[in-house]
């Protein structure tokens, strides 16, 4: 497997070098350019054309900000790491320019991905992307506000969307590479309708040119056991495990490995790197998981979770090969959830603090 450079990325999609305004992807060639140095503007301190700065936004991998792009709410993400920029750029352009109908999928599956509006290099050693603003919260925070019965109702709705999104990615020969609750944003399109799940953060994404390759990136607690053996692994099945671990946290509020909950203090305690490495190598050798089992009335999602976290790589299914019957079981949900408007009011108040 190789990481595509931005030149290859652009050549494959627009036959140009640097990305500019991408609002018309799929209808006309985007204008791609490198933006030169300019005097700092307080409304646009990042130097990204069309972006008006409002406030910084917390993020661990670089500089981020909330603002507007050509008058519409937007999110800006900048990094000094060219490779990460190229990974995310290539993945999202491939997703946006792809045709789900070629794989017998609904075109609406594209709405389950962050929407990239612009990608530029505003100055040397800085690479920036502008995304459409998602008015929502990460799955990590979302599930912590849910009662057990609400999780029973909502998690199948959420993860059916994530499964379909990953099936589309995999059909395009892309893997996400860092699936976890923080990389799934939950929005609420209507006050009491079903929640919407959107995948973000594709800088660990890769084009799969050969199925087995060494892992690139990932987050401890969600990474599969074979990552700790430091051997080439199946990239699609790696996504499978990470999705399973994310489902697990949806039910339990913590990943299957790497964290313990101390009831006396009410705190989550992280394992040391050595403890996690030793445990993951142990379950790989024994071909048996040791995480605490999840009890749920709706078994379809839990059954999918258990299959996705099969220790034996050869027996673990890809997301695309999951039983159609099991996946169909996730689609049986309500259209109205009377408690969601109140839940979002609570979440919004926490975000303003």
Does residue 26 have a pLDDT over 60? Answer: no
- At 58, the pLDDT band (50, 70, 90 cuts) reads low
* Residue 29 pLDDT: 32
In DSSP notation, 67-108 reads EEETTEEEEEEEES-HHHHHHHHHHHHHHHHS-GGGGT--GG
Phi first, then psi, for residue 295 (nearest 5°) are -105, 125
Does residue 219 have a pLDDT over 60? Answer: yes
Does residue 13 have a pLDDT over 50? Answer: no
> Among 40-44, 226-230, 328-332, where is mean pLDDT lowest?
40-44
* Residue 38 pLDDT: 44
Q: Measure CA of the first residue to CA of the last residue in the chain; give whole Å.
A: 44
Give the CATH superfamily of 6-132. Answer: Phosphorylase Kinase; domain 1 (3.30.200.20)
Higher local confidence (pLDDT), 69 or 5: 69
CA-based Rg of the chain, rounded to a whole angstrom? 20
Q: Which of 177, 199, 179 is nearest to 187 (CA)?
A: 199
pTM for this entry: 0.88
For residue 145, CA distances in Å to 164, 204, 277 come to: 25, 29, 31
Average pLDDT over residues 340-345: 91
3-state SS class at 12:
helix
* Residue 41 pLDDT: 58
* Residue 16 pLDDT: 30
Structural domain boundaries of the chain? 6-132, 136-345
- At 85, the pLDDT band (50, 70, 90 cuts) reads very high
Does residue 145 have a pLDDT over 70? Answer: yes
- At 177, the pLDDT band (50, 70, 90 cuts) reads very high
Does residue 30 have a pLDDT over 60? Answer: no
| 318-334 confidence digits (pLDDT tens) | 999 999 999 999 988 77
Q: Which CATH number fits domain 136-345: 2.60.120.620, 3.40.190.10, 3.40.50.2000, 1.10.510.10?
A: 1.10.510.10
> Among 38-47, 174-183, 278-287, where is mean pLDDT lowest?
38-47
* Residue 255 pLDDT: 98
* Residue 36 pLDDT: 42
Cα(161)–Cα(314) distance, integer angstroms: 26
Mean pLDDT score of the chain, rounded to an integer?
87
pLDDT winner (highest mean) among 167-171, 208-212, 330-334: 167-171
Dihedral angle at the C-alpha atoms of 71, 75, 81, 85, nearest 10 degrees? -70
Phi first, then psi, for residue 118 (nearest 5°) are -155, 150
> Both tokens of residue 237?
């099945």
Longest dimension (CA), the chain: 60
Q: Running DSSP on this structure, what letter comes out for residue 172?
A: T
- Of the chain, the percentage scoring pLDDT greater than 90 comes to 71
Are 217 and 204 in contact by the 8 Å Cβ rule? The answer is yes
* Residue 215 pLDDT: 80
| 87-98 confidence digits (pLDDT tens) | 999 999 999 999
């Amino acid at each position: 497997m190789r990481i595509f450079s931005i030149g290859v990325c652009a050549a494959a999609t627009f036959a140009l070098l640097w990305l500019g305004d991408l609002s018309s992807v799929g209808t006309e060639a985007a204008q791609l350019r490198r933006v030169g140095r300019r005097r700092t503007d307080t409304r646009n301190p990042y130097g990204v054309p069309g972006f008006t700065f409002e406030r910084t936004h917390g993020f661990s991998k670089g500089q981020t900000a909330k603002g507007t792009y050509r008058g519409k709410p937007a999110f800006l993400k900048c990094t000094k790491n060219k490779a990460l920029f190229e990974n995310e750029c290539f993945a999202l352009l491939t997703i946006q320019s792809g045709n789900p109908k070629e794989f017998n999928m609904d075109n609406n599956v594209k709405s389950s991905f962050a929407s990239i509006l612009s990608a530029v290099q505003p100055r040397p050693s800085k690479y920036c992307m502008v995304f459409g603003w998602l008015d929502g919260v990460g799955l990590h925070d979302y599930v912590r506000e849910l009662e057990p019965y609400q999780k029973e109702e909502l998690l199948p709705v959420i993860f059916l969307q994530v499964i379909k999104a990953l099936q589309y990615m995999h059909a395009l020969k892309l893997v996400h590479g860092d699936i976890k609750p923080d990389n799934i944003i939950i929005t609420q399109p209507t006050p009491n309708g079903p929640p919407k799940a959107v995948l973000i953060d594709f800088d660990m994404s890769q084009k799969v040119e050969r199925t087995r390759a060494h892992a690139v990136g990932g987050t401890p607690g969600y990474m599969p056991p074979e990552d700790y053996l430091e051997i080439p692994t199946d990239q699609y099945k790696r996504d499978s495990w990470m999705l399973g671990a994310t489902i697990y946290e949806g039910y339990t509020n913590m990943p299957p490995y790497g964290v313990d909950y101390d009831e006396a203090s009410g705190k989550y305690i992280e394992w040391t790197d050595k403890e996690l490495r030793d445990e993951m190598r142990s379950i790989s050798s024994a071909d048996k998981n040791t995480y605490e089992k999840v009890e749920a009335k709706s078994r379809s999602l839990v059954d999918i979770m258990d299959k996705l976290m099969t220790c034996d790589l050869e027996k673990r299914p890809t997301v695309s090969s999951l039983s159609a019957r099991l996946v169909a079981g996730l689609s049986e949900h309500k259209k109205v959830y009377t408690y969601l408007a109140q839940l979002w009011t609570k979440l919004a108040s926490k975000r303003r603090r």
